[in-house]
Structure 1
Amino acid sequence: MLNAMSDALFDIYQGVPTTRELWEKLETKYMQVDATSKKFLVSRFNSYKMVHNRPIMEQLHEIERILNRFKMHKMHMDETIIVSSIIDKLPPSWRDFRRSLKYKKDDISLDDLSKSLHVEEEFPLQDEPKEQSILVSKIHMVEEKQNFQVYK
């Protein structure tokens, strides 16, 4: 077993008398590191906050990367809890959408949440030019009315 180790590890563990003891020492050392990284992952997930000035889908993908790390560490979380947590992380500007998701009777999957967020994020972008054109037309109407009154 020692011949497969790097020189630095070999120097540290060459005095361990049996393979079993060596295995236990290595397992103890690296399991502590693993436990620390698991706590860090949980903390990262819990403290993640979505912000309004970045695309929601981009932020959702960051959360999904954290969740994939959970799987790599064989940490399992109920999908309902994950979805609910993500909904709670939505920025304040998404308050109405968040409320509509919270009060649905049926639980939604992470995939369904992702699709809903994608559609909701794209929907306002499609309406923006219409809203601007309506605003521009209202401005023209007011200007025309003012000009009409001036000529009267």
Structure 2
Amino acid sequence: MLKGNNFSSPVPMIKLEKFTATEFTNWKLNTQFGMKYLNVFYTVQSDRATVMGTEAETQWIADEDFCRDYLLNCLSSSLAKTYIKMKTAKEIWEALEEHFRQEEDLSKAHLVDKFHSFMFDEEKVILPQVSDFEALVDSLHSENIFLPDSFVAGTIIYKLPSAWYNFKTEMYRKKMQVGLNDLKRFIRIEDENRTRHALETVSKQKAAANMVLSSKRVPNPKRTRPSHGSSQVAGPSKRTKKFKGKCFNCNKWGHSASDCRLPKRERTKAPQDGNQANMVSLAESSDFVGMVGNAKASTEWYLDSGATCHVCNNADLMTRLAAVKESVTVANGETADVLKVGNATLLLSSGTGEDG
């Protein structure tokens, strides 16, 4: 292999990649390619002692000096200040390899953590996120952590969001193992279908909202109230509820007394003379019937107002009568004198008598 540089010919322009303490492996490959292209990489793989006393020693010294300057120019300013103290290119190369290789070994664990914790966001399109996941897998490959495509495809299916449950079930039911390229094609189709369905749903919702707004704004001609002097006939009004009670004027069902067509019945006035304590005045008919005792002995039936109870108009039915001077207030507000008070023997339905 031809070694050394012919400085009489122009040196080709090679872009120098500045190393900033990140992505050491990529920087190392690019820098190594540049040194090989310039035929100076052999100086970091050998020592001066291997060519001591030979005609190639002078060329080796020149190439090693050029390689050292080349490495320092490929470092950032802060790193160049650190490694400029080293005398040979081999020392610089080995020091960089030892220091940053250890850091990348530590970053491998971080990459594995990122691989396991990667999750898809269902609010975003899935296919670009699949590309991000593939970039993470490529980072693992650069660290000599190789994963088969079938494993990567299965991991992507597992990590899909819950909204993709039906899609995941369909993928799991396939008899053949889905490859990574086929999976990306299926995901792209599903993404397009979901996007189209979302747009159609939004369009339908907007159309429904516009229809509701327009129905509120356009007046209904049947419900429009005609203006004064207009010949427009108003629509049918809301029907009133039919009265279900009984008319107190004609005693017929289905209408009230205010709507009765018959002449209004005069109400009975209460008499102004006589025994007011034993009279019950009625303004209108009632639905209950009872019996009340009169001050005068009588066997006739009367309408009971409900103001009294246990009244007897037959003194023969009473026992242990005693004369009293008391009075009671009856339903019409008048008072009546109580002549006697006694006990009565009540005949119950069981046939036994009870003195009360």
Instruction: Give per-residue Cα distances to partners, 1:19-38, cap 9 Å, x unaligned.
Output: 4x765543322221221222
Aligned-partner residue type, residue 116 of structure 1: F
Amino acid in structure 1 at the alignment position of 2:83:
L
| Structure 2 residue matching 1:75: 3-state secondary structure | coil
Contact preservation (8 Å) 2:83, 2:92: no
Per the alignment, residue 72 of structure 1 pairs with 142
Aligned amino acid, residue 81 of structure 2? D
The number of residue pairs the alignment matches comes to: 136
Which residue of 1 is the match for residue 175 of structure 2?
105
What is the DSSP-based 3-state SS (H/G/I as helix, E as strand, rest coil) of the residue aligned with 1:26?
helix
What is the aligned partner in structure 1 of residue 278 from structure 2? none
What SS does the aligned partner of 2:84 have? Answer: helix
Structure 1 position 131, deviation (Å) = 8.7
AA of the residue aligned to 2:96: L
- Local SS of the residue matching 2:183: helix
Choose from 78, 83, 103 the match for 1:33: 103
- Alpha-carbon spacing, 1:49–1:23, altered in 2? closer, same or farther (3 Å): same
How far apart are the structure 1 equivalents of 2:159 and 2:126?
A: 10
Deviations, residues 47-86 of structure 1 (Å, cap 9, x unaligned) = 1011211111121121122122233334310111101111
Equivalent residue, structure 2, for 1:147? none
Aligned counterpart, 1:7: 81
The structure whose RCO (Cα within 8 Å, separation 6+) is larger is 1
> 2:117 is matched with which residue?
47
Structure 1 residues 9 and 24: alpha-carbon distance in aligned structure 2, compared to 1, 3 A threshold: closer
In 1, Cα distance between the equivalents of 2:81 and 2:158? Answer: 49
Determine which of 144, 152, 159 is the counterpart of 1:89: 159
User: What amino acid is the match of 1:48?
Assistant: F
Q: Give ranges in structure 1 of 5+ residues lacking alignment.
A: 144-150
Scaled by the length of structure 2, the TM-score of the pair is: 0.33
Moved more, 43-52 or 64-73: 64-73
- Is 1:115 aligned to residue 189 of structure 2? no
Greater Rg over alpha carbons, structure: 2
SS of residue paired to 1:29: helix
Larger fraction in helix: 1
Report the alpha carbon displacement of residue 100 of structure 1 after superposing the two structures with TM. 1.3
Q: Give yes or no for contact 1:56–1:121 (8 Å, CA) kept in 2.
A: yes
Cα root mean square deviation, aligned: 3.2
**How far is 1:133 from its partner?**
4.2
Task: Read off the aligned partner of 1:61 and give its amino acid letter.
Answer: S
Tell me, in whole angstroms, the C-alpha distance in 1 between the residues paired with 2:119 and 2:102: 28
Contact 2:141 2:147 in 1 (8 A): no
| Deviates most, 119-128 or 46-55 | 119-128
SS in 2 for 1:105: coil
Gaps of 5+ in 2: 1-66, 73-79, 216-235, 237-356
**With structure 1 as the length reference, what TM-score do the two structures score?**
0.71
Q: CA deviation at 1:88?
A: 0.9
Letter aligned with residue 98 of structure 2: T
Indicate yes or no: 2:195 matched with 1:125: yes
Report which of the two has the higher share of strand: 2
